[in-house]
Chain A
């Protein structure tokens, strides 16, 4: 795992040269993992029992806890957005967790965090217009229409800050861990890094995932109500 995001394959679109980066490939790897888990869960679902245990317990707990979390945050009315944020939660969390195994977290690339935050922005506008219609638009011109640019920037800044917060946290962990591996002798590269991984990948990763998702939900809720 390096500091920089490696370019892996080159493609050309409309005469422009683009690169399939390490971020994208790592995302595909995490997607593959999540899809395999989902397929296993889907197969095992046929044999799910009334009283859960083991794998069934874990799957039920994840879905139920997340569903309740979304409902308690945005309310029953907006809970239909839960599946998108479930994916966001899983992708961001497993991005952080897979970095334990040396996979550069896709969230340490601003392109990933921006993509996720961009959807939150779109959802904010969509829910605002859907549930409050003219009132939502009116909010941009309050207390006076000259405040419109500032209000608009304020709204646009939300997903940008959201994306940079997650990106910054994940990148800082990646930098610290990479520097540790680069600057320390081989002798101390066994055992001790587990503490760094536990802190930056597991604790910070999970915490930032939670913050990203709950802030996105709050932004959507605020826009819709």
Chain B
């Protein structure tokens, strides 16, 4: 297209502000060419790579958000699951406590009953023992009295009555004592 390009060191004609001639359209053409070149360079060097970087980053962020949402959903499921488990454990705890309470109550009743029985037995044994002791003491007292009376009687008889009278009195007294013992 260009058949001759020459740069001359001659004095340039005066410039201008506006003109509708070939020079204007030549400048326009060159400016258009400049624009196209600049557009291509800016597109390949700046616009496209930065746009790509922004898109990739947006995708990465979106993926992270999606992953986070999935993790969040899974987390919520786990929370719900653990809540259910906790509820079940709580119910089980209440059931165990109730069963333990009932068992303790039952055992308490059994122990009290056993204790009562034992106490009654103990009381009965004590009463029996007391009765026996009472009987023994009574018997001992009776024997002591008898012995004492015998001694007194023996002393009196020794001093006042003969053997025949003595045997008669002894027989009468013995008969009286036997009657008294029989009545007790």
Contacts and interface: CB of A to CB of B under 8 A. Distances in A.
Interface of A: 2-14, 16, 18-24, 27-28, 31, 34-35, 37-39, 41-42, 45, 48, 50, 59-60, 63-64, 67, 82-84, 86-88, 90-91, 106, 109-112, 114-116, 118-119, 167, 171
Nearest to A90: B42
Contact of A18 (B23, B49, B50, B57): B23
Nearest to A41: B46
B137 interface: no
A189 B2 CA distance: 45
Given A23-B31, A64-B54, A88-B35, A38 B12 contact: no
B34 A27 contact: yes
Interface residues of B: mostly helix, strand, loop or mixed? helix
Interface residues of B, number: 46
Interface of B: 1-8, 10, 12-18, 22-32, 34-35, 37-39, 41-43, 45-51, 53-54, 57, 60
Contact of B42 (A67, A83, A114): A83
B38 A91 contact: yes
B2 A13 contact: yes
Contacts of A35: 38, 41-42, 45
B46 A63 contact: yes
Given A82-B47, A90-B42, 15 more contacts: A5-B16, A5-B17, A8-B12, A10-B12, A12-B6, A24-B27, A35-B42, A39-B45, A59-B50, A86-B39, A86-B42, A87-B38, A91-B35, A111-B25, A114-B28
A41 B32 contact: no
Contacts of A28: 34
Nearest to B24: A111
13 contacts: A5-B17, A7-B15, A10-B12, A12-B4, A12-B5, A18-B26, A38-B42, A41-B45, A60-B54, A111-B27, A112-B28, A114-B24, A115-B32
